[in-house]
Amino acid sequence: MYREQIKVLDCTIRDGGLINNHYFTDEFVIAVYKALSESGIDYMEMGYRASRELSPPAEFGAWKYCDDDKIRQIIDKAQIESNLKLSVMVDSYRVKEQTFAPADQSPIDMIRAATYVKYIDSSIELVNKCHDLGYETTVNIMAVSTEIEPDLVEALDQLAKCPVDVVYVVDSFGALYCEQIEYLVKLYRQHLPGKEIGVHCHNNQQLAFSNTVEGIIHNANYLDGSLFGIGRGPGNCCLELLVGFLKNPKFDLTPILKVIEDYMLPMRNEIEWGYLIPYMVTGILNEHPRAAIAVRKTEDKDKYAEFYKELSRSLE
């Protein structure tokens, strides 16, 4: 599946931060930065650029805010030459006015606007602002499995008129199957001439990797993954699987496996992520994983049949 246009983005720190309130140590972030640099990965997502007024610093670690100075500290401490580009994500629909330095004065290369169809105007506003400052931009339309197609098409047609570089199909609930990924990637391509298409898949039904491959088959060129699949709930497409699948000689799997060995395996003893039945249930019911996340924190965390019956009943 070698295709020169394909770009791989690692979202370990950003999506993984959703399960520990972004309290990753500098040591870990540096290790990930070095491993991705040595592996030839194209982008590393450092976290969110959130507003402190809306997300109090007392509740979150540094990677909820991704200040330029903090990112520079990581780069300086890594002490390596790197071609790795850096990105941050902004929830365009729930952020106060953000001040971005011009791209040539920032360690950040790409701003990713996360949004829902009903808030598409906010993402366009953010894209216009960041594009004018010289950043690469993406729009990640979340929970696309819940959207009505005419509304989605209207949003895509609006995005086609703005300078966004990449628009992502985001399977936030891990509800989609390969046929739906094919349909959506083709739909995006039809309505977004000249734009690149990306895919970001969650692993509720253990389909994140296969659905990412399906996106590749239909010419999605921007691919998200995370180390050992870390991410909220069941997590994401495993970066190591994706790199192993792609036949680009620039990629080196060894540093990725080493950072998993050294950091991710011990982390699994402290933080829970990965395929579990409650997340499978929310996936097949096309629901946000919040109910599964909540039940996993209770004594009834393994009462799968009861969870399925209760959640199904609540949707009737």
- Give me the residue spans of the domains in the chain: 7-268, 277-314
Asked if the 7-268 domain carries CATH number 3.30.390.30, the reply is: no
Mean pLDDT by 10 residues, the chain (316 residues): 89 97 98 98 98 92 97 98 98 88 98 98 97 98 98 98 98 98 98 98 98 98 98 97 95 98 96 97 97 97 97 94
Which amino acid is residue 227, in one-letter code? L
Spatial contact of 210 and 192, defined as CB atoms under 8 Å apart: no
Burial call 120-130: b when 16+ CB within 10 Å, e when fewer: bebbbebbebb
Q: What is the pLDDT of residue 316?
A: 87
Tally Cβ neighbours within 10 Å of residue 316.
4
Q: Is the dihedral of CA 186, 192, 196, 197 positive or negative?
A: negative
Q: What is the pLDDT of residue 269?
A: 92
Is pTM, for the whole model, over 0.95? yes
Q: What is the pLDDT of residue 247?
A: 87
